[in-house]
Structure 1
């Protein structure tokens, strides 16, 4: 492909995306009043569903039951209306065109702003690696994937945590360093990963992540195989190093996120681990209506966030704006914190959030190098990589740029930058700029 053709490709893809999007609208218009009625019903149904969900999480008793009926009944009613209006075929064509437009739009943005893979560094294999493994993590993945035997066959010494006796993971890591370890690793959850990562960074040792936790967010963003954690051990014999950022909250390190507000309050409950949904539903009405929990104020660099009900600070920004599904972080070495704040006071604002997404007034999306959280009490609950803590206010979050040397297998299934880019948000304003032969806005998101 010539350089000129390469430059034209984003523009062509953007124009195809716009044509598909317009065609989808035209097809809907051909359905006549019935099709437009269905489209309107879909928008109303989305808003009604959001209102129903809002009642479910902020009410108890009959109002909660009514909210559940709305949340389930609204989309069912839209489907029934589309069937009765006899526009199902044209609606399907419109959906296909719209999806084609989305695919071309994402491809255009990827071509215009090629994703930057994290640089890797060649280093010799470790001679005295030490891996700390939690046998309970991930529902018993350490035993299920025979990780202890496999690690020892590759020359690692394994420290197996005792589920019956709580142990100081940080102290175990420090002891391993004192005994001559030249690599520290963890097979466990992200909270345990963060504790050992702090020791590795302090001593400038490589750190190995084994995706044996439940969700493995850190492993996912490193491109590691979450389905088979044993493949992470390949880094012991044939690996490369990444230099990634480490988050700091107070004197604690985090690899993923720090949460304040509603979620941080809920994870403090003794019953949360065994009954997460029931515990959340019991606590959310009081938390979201301001009848429980401290009043928070945050400052992200020079931006102020007033009274967020939930605030999430991440080690590098996540790609998606949806508070329920953040997606993944395209980069772990960008040197900035991601900040997501949510403030929804009533059903109307919940509906706005459903309809407008990241542009809703109740959603704040920022990036910053320093985040300070103040409260009307001397201590507040904080969830650090999912672990429940209580920290004195003000709570300060910062980032240590490229402070952690992470040793990863040379071949990682999620390391393809194009695959990472597919998780990014699509902004139709950038698509339009590309189609008009203009550069996407600075800082635009793929």
Structure 2
């Protein structure tokens, strides 16, 4: 509360009531930058060039204006104090370092089976000698062959039929989701080896993504968690299912090798052209339409997210889906997005069931980063506690609850000792 108060006092002391005008100038600069980003993404040619220039020039002009009139220092100090206030508020409201997910100590498996993708994560399987370490730990290892198509789900089912009492995956989140579905169906434990590129599921389980081999300790010194699975129609996801712009971009064959170039080339048509997706959703009893992008996550994320960098989830056993909707159709809405959730352009919801539909017969969906096409409408649901996950007893830790925004009334009550 002291930091929040100081962030207001500093500009008042420096400029008196004129500080209100300086704050409005800063907000205007952010709005113009948002417009510039919109033009850059939604248009081509001259407008794209102007947008790129505006997105840089607007904040630079505000900083130069502040510096000219001696307000740069107070403005930066005020911003720093405000960030300190928000961080402190989130910290004091967090329940603590203990993970919310219940965990139980378990015996080591007798016949563990692990599927490894040598291509994942730029070759982490070979770089960290995971095959040798897994076999030393008593695992039967199945390697995916890059030269031929293999049915991951069928391989996992066959392993269970042959007596495997634990399934594990060293690969990306998409491969993990396929094997996790089999593990949940047969009620056998599942182990995540973070050998993919992003490893979002491993991050939220508290695993060490810099040392994939450390996850093998779950076999000999592990605890078991019951976590939820998400479903988009009949497809399982451990992280999220994305609809709209992002899902459409990843369908382009050039996306894998040139992500930024492909995104900039295809976004104008997806935002303002004839190919622009217009989605509708029903999250429990809440209806939202006119959407260009939608992210449905297996448990809500703890802060503002986008499809490429979805942040972290505070827990994996809430039994809820997180929903993030994006609705920016014109320049005015792009400017308003600087107001955050109050703008109406970024909508966050939690729900047990989410229905996504469009005017077309099918929907492109990115399920844990893998592109699929599903019949519209797509019903997303949570399967609470469906998956038994084994993790090492000693691991870096799970995220602390932080929330998208602090509960300021509660912070005030705590500060006043009430």
Q: Tell me the TM-score normalized by structure 1.
A: 0.88
Mapped to 1, the partners of 2:295 and 2:9 lie a distance apart of 40
Q: Is 1:184–1:207's contact at 8 Å kept on the other side of the alignment?
A: yes
Q: CA separation of 1:247/1:136 partners in 2, compared to 1, >3 Å: closer, same or farther?
A: same
Establish whether residue 129 from structure 1 lines up as the match of residue 112 from structure 2: yes
Q: Tell me the TM-score normalized by structure 2.
A: 0.94
Q: CA separation of 1:311/1:178 partners in 2, compared to 1, >3 Å: closer, same or farther?
A: same
Give the aligned partner of residue 34 of structure 2: 50
SS of the residue 2:125 aligns to: helix
2:122 to 139, 157, 166: 139
Give the aligned partner of residue 420 of structure 1: 400
Structure 1, 25-34 or 197-206: larger mean CA deviation: 25-34
Establish whether residue 327 from structure 1 lines up as the match of residue 311 from structure 2: yes
2:143 to 149, 155, 160: 160
Instruction: Point out where structure 1 has 5 or more consecutive residues left out of the alignment.
Output: 1-16, 439-446
Establish whether residue 29 from structure 1 lines up as the match of residue 9 from structure 2: no
Q: CA separation of 1:100/1:394 partners in 2, compared to 1, >3 Å: closer, same or farther?
A: closer
Deviations 1:82-110 (A, max 9, x none): 22222344334333432332233123312
2:384 to 395, 401, 406: 401
Question: Cα RMSD over matched residues?
Answer: 2.0
SS of the residue 2:24 aligns to: helix
Q: Is 1:49–1:72's contact at 8 Å kept on the other side of the alignment?
A: yes
Instruction: Point out where structure 2 has 5 or more consecutive residues left out of the alignment.
Output: none
Give the aligned partner of residue 260 of structure 2: 277
Deviation at residue 290 of structure 1 after TM alignment: 5.2
SS of the residue 1:225 aligns to: coil
SS of the residue 1:192 aligns to: helix
Give the aligned partner of residue 323 of structure 2: 339
Give the aligned partner of residue 84 of structure 1: 68
Mapped to 2, the partners of 1:35 and 1:115 lie a distance apart of 43
Q: Show the 5 A alignment for 1:172-251.
A: 172-251=155-234
Deviations 1:31-79 (A, max 9, x none): 1167555433322221111111101110100100100001111222222
Give the aligned partner of residue 442 of structure 1: none
Q: Show the 5 A alignment for 1:366-385.
A: 366-385=349-368
Give the aligned partner of residue 108 of structure 1: 92
Mapped to 2, the partners of 1:97 and 1:393 lie a distance apart of 48
Q: Is 2:279–2:293's contact at 8 Å kept on the other side of the alignment?
A: no
Mapped to 2, the partners of 1:322 and 1:195 lie a distance apart of 24
Give the aligned partner of residue 348 of structure 2: 365
Alignment length (residue pairs): 416
Q: Is 1:137–1:212's contact at 8 Å kept on the other side of the alignment?
A: yes
SS of the residue 1:421 aligns to: coil
Q: Is 1:338–1:368's contact at 8 Å kept on the other side of the alignment?
A: yes
Establish whether residue 65 from structure 1 lines up as the match of residue 45 from structure 2: no
Mapped to 2, the partners of 1:333 and 1:51 lie a distance apart of 39
Mapped to 2, the partners of 1:141 and 1:248 lie a distance apart of 28
1:316 to 290, 299, 320: 299
Q: CA separation of 1:150/1:435 partners in 2, compared to 1, >3 Å: closer, same or farther?
A: same
Structure 1, 30-39 or 44-53: larger mean CA deviation: 30-39
Structure 1, 153-162 or 426-435: larger mean CA deviation: 426-435
Deviation at residue 265 of structure 1 after TM alignment: 1.0
Mapped to 2, the partners of 1:174 and 1:227 lie a distance apart of 30
SS of the residue 1:272 aligns to: coil
Mapped to 1, the partners of 2:371 and 2:84 lie a distance apart of 43
Q: Is 2:299–2:313's contact at 8 Å kept on the other side of the alignment?
A: yes
Q: CA separation of 1:60/1:92 partners in 2, compared to 1, >3 Å: closer, same or farther?
A: closer
Q: Is 1:337–1:398's contact at 8 Å kept on the other side of the alignment?
A: yes
Structure 1, 32-41 or 46-55: larger mean CA deviation: 32-41
Q: Is 2:277–2:292's contact at 8 Å kept on the other side of the alignment?
A: no
Q: CA separation of 1:295/1:351 partners in 2, compared to 1, >3 Å: closer, same or farther?
A: closer
Establish whether residue 170 from structure 1 lines up as the match of residue 153 from structure 2: yes
Q: CA separation of 1:178/1:240 partners in 2, compared to 1, >3 Å: closer, same or farther?
A: same
